[in-house]
Every structure is written in structure tokens, then in C-alpha cells.
Amino acid sequence: MDRFLQGVEMRHACKIFDETKAIPNEQFQNILKVGHQAPSSFGLEPTRLLVIKDKKTREEIKPLCWDQAQITTCSEVIVFKALKVDLLAGSNYVKNSVARKLKSPEKQEIRNTFYANYLKNRGYDDYTIGYWSALQSYIVATSMMDYASFLGIDSCMIEGFEKKPLEKYFNLDTEREQITLLLTLGYRKKPQSERLRIDFNEFVKFI
């Protein structure tokens, strides 16, 4: 089995981490770099990360994360945020992103119009744009989690949190950004539990 698949086998939703073990800084920096390089729709990179190093902050957010042990026992806690209104067509954020990649004003114009039509076609508006941007953050988180597994580092994604209170705790301007999920990383304290997946043939069909 190749090393990537070994990582897939060892990955599980780690419920409690060994508090005495820390991820080497270089490996953690590389996990963050993998997230930075993740793909995003239209290359708009709407994901932002908040790495919670501060112990007190971790203790304070734990009750807002359903008191889950991962928050305070893991080596690293990463809060995933996703931009919202900046992704709307015609925003300065979108225009700047397009201009960074396309030098010609004509090409920028075509791209911006194409983007506006795309959002319209998908029905993304001021409100639903948040769903779309959240999807992008999951791609970043998954890349980072898979790379961590490749390195033999355990993880657990955390969707179990009180969204509004947590956003308030971090003083987010919720018109502009939202918290989508957290990723906890470290080393397991207990053995992996048995994995029970649906049958492979239910998961995939070939036509």
C-alpha cells in the first residue's frame, strides 16, 4: 500500500488527543501551506484560517464547541472562516482577484461578466453566497487533513459548534465572513475505532 493510502487507513475522527504530544512546527507549517495551495472555484480563495495557539482562548471556545475534548487536547486548532459579500459579482475583492491574474482590461471585463452570470445561473445571492463559500473552505480543510494523515498526524474536523456565539466570540463581522468548521490536529490517545462504511458498490456505480 502506498503512503497516501496508509494515511487514509490510519485517519479517523480522533475524539481525544494525547496532550503531551505536539506537531513539529515545520510539519504544521507545511500543513498550512497545503491549505494555502488548495483549489477554489474561480480561484477566488475565499477561505481564511485562524490558528488558535492561546490556551485560554481554547478553553473559552470549548463550551461553544459542544464541550468536545478535541479542542483542548489537540496540538493545533484551526478555525476556518469563509468570506461572504466579497464574493458577490462586482465587489472590489472579485475585481482585484481577476485583475491579479488577467492583465488586459478587456479580458477582466469578460471574466467579471462571466462570473456574474455564473452566480445568477446558480441562484447565489447575498444570502446563499455563504453556502458556496463554505463549500470552498471544506476543500481547504480536506486537503490539510489528508496531508496530515499522510504525515501520520491524527485529526478531527469539528462542525459541532454554536455558530453565532462562536462568531461573536471572535468578533466577526458576519456580513463579511463566517465560521464554517474547525480542524483539530494532533496524536491519538486511544486506538482507532472500527470503521463502518456503506458497501463500496453502493458508494460507486459504473455506467
Residues that bind ligand FMN (CB under 6 A): 12-13, 15, 68, 156-160, 181, 195
Buried b (16+ CB within 10 A) or exposed e, 46-70: bbebeebeeeebbeebbebbeebbb
Nearest to ligand FMN of 101, 190 (CB atom)? 190
Nearest to ligand FMN of 195, 205 (CB atom)? 195
Q: First vs last Cα of the chain: how many Å apart? A: 28
Least distance (Å) between residue 61 CB and ligand FMN: 13
Least distance (Å) between residue 179 CB and ligand FMN: 13
Nearest to ligand FMN of 9, 173 (CB atom)? 9
Nearest to ligand FMN of 69, 99 (CB atom)? 69
Least distance (Å) between residue 72 CB and ligand FMN: 14
Least distance (Å) between residue 2 CB and ligand FMN: 19
Q: How many CB atoms lie within 10 A of CB 190?
A: 10
Q: How many CB atoms lie within 10 A of CB 132?
A: 17
Nearest to ligand FMN of 129, 145 (CB atom)? 145
Which residue's C-beta sits nearest to ligand FMN? 160
DSSP of 143-207, one letter per residue? HHHHHHHHTT-EEEEE--S-HHHHHHHTT--TTTEEEEEEEEEE-BSSPPPPP----HHHH----
Helices (H) and strands (E) in the chain — how many of each?
A: 9, 4
Least distance (Å) between residue 180 CB and ligand FMN: 9
